Amino acid sequence: MKHNISLAGPLALSPFLLENPGRYARWRESKLSGYPKRAEMLVVEVADARSLSAAEHGKLLTICRKTNMVIYATSRGDLADKEIPRQLGEQFGLVHLDSNLLADEDAITSLQVVAEKSGRGYIPYTNRRLLWHTDGYYNSTGQQIRAMSLHCVRPAAKGGENALLDPEIAYIFLRDENPEYIRAFMAADAMTIPANEESGENRAAVSGPVFSIDPATGSLHMRYTARTRSIEWKADDVTRAAVQALERILASQLPLVFRHRLTAGQGLLCNNVLHNRTEFADDVDNGITRLLYRARYYDRIRGTETNAT
Ligand SMILES: [Fe+2]
């Protein structure tokens, strides 16, 4: 079976290709060396995420280069200002925002329970749990979501915890278990999102790989959803086995699967890592209603490119 990655140019040397076991072994060793074992190790306190000091920026970037994600913590949880995610992103080269049909006008989405939107079948606007996924897994090849941020203005009264897994760690676990899983997940027809019939969005069917290598940066990109509706996996044994292996990893209690509940003023900045969310409960009578801002970008966090490390 042939994969669909061109071997031309610098990509030919990518550690993510099965043809380069030596480069992979070196990359893997350096990746795992000093890798954080708990979500608290990802947290960096900053005074104002809209205007980081050089030292704060450096700390955030150092963690992102290791784990593809960082949690910043400000003490201004009450500040409902979309300039926080916008200006934070800009400081990391994140300028090309994805917009979707339900995003607010400025393409930074307010995630909160909204009856009208949730009635249309969009789970992110309800309080139900969200299964493991990467954002925009249904986007076309030209509009892949390489980075995203979540900023918590107000946590829920109860619940709403995220689990987070670096796609490069998922890649390592899968490749360690069976390199053929990587070959299956790099196939251009590994997963297909059928044409969208439920939201009236008229989106065409989208097929693509789970893992791909971004030609511009050499970085690993991942598309995934644990949903079983509205997703068709390639119908062969190795793809099925790879999907099951990934499900086992995501359901595990491995320390590299981080769990964190964003508190007021905290946010996640990441290269679109795998994530889920537990269900949550608002306490409307007491004014405790969860509000998070989400920004999705076509850019990757500047300074985290595989080619640059
Ligand atoms: Fe998400």
Q: For residue 240, how many C-alpha atoms fall within 13 Å in the half-sphere facing its CB?
A: 3
pTM for this one? 0.92
- Measured from the Cβ of residue 70, the count of other Cβ atoms closer than 10 Å reads 23
Counting as low any pLDDT under 50, the low residues of the chain are 1-4
What angle do helix axes 167-177 and 237-251 make, rounded to 10 degrees? 120
Residue 37 CA to residue 173 CA, distance in Å, equals: 15
What does the pLDDT read at residue 4?
47
**1 Cα: distance to centroid of ligand 1 (angstroms):** 32
* Residue 149 CA, distance from chain mean position: 9
Predicted pLDDT of residue 308: 61
Q: Compute the distance from residue 7 Cα to the ligand 1 centre, in Å.
A: 32
Percent of all residues in the chain with a pLDDT value above 90, rounded to a whole number: 77
Distance 276 CA to ligand 1 centre (A): 7
Closest CA to 151 of 76, 94, 238: 76
Instruction: Determine the pLDDT at residue 7.
Output: 53
Cα 198 to averaged position of ligand 1 atoms, centre (Å): 19
Q: What is the pLDDT of residues 181-239, one digit of tens each?
A: 999 999 999 999 998 765 556 778 889 999 999 998 999 999 999 999 889 999 999 99
Q: How far is the CA of 137 from the centre of ligand 1 (A)?
A: 10
Which among 67, 2, 1, 3 is positioned nearest to 211, based on CA atoms?
A: 3
User: Amino acid letter at 6?
Assistant: S
Residue 39 CA: distances (Å) to CA of 166, 181, 264: 12, 28, 17
CB-count exposure of residue 253 (10 Å: 0-12, 13-18, 19+): exposed
- pLDDT given for residue 201 in this prediction: 62
Distance 116 CA to ligand 1 centre (A): 20
Q: Which residues surround ligand 1, an ion (CB under 5 A)?
A: 135
Q: How far is the CA of 10 from the centre of ligand 1 (A)?
A: 31
Contact 27, 15 (CB under 8 A): yes
Query: How far apart are alpha carbons 226 and 170 in whole angstroms?
Result: 14
Cα 135 to ligand 1 centroid, rounded to whole Å: 5
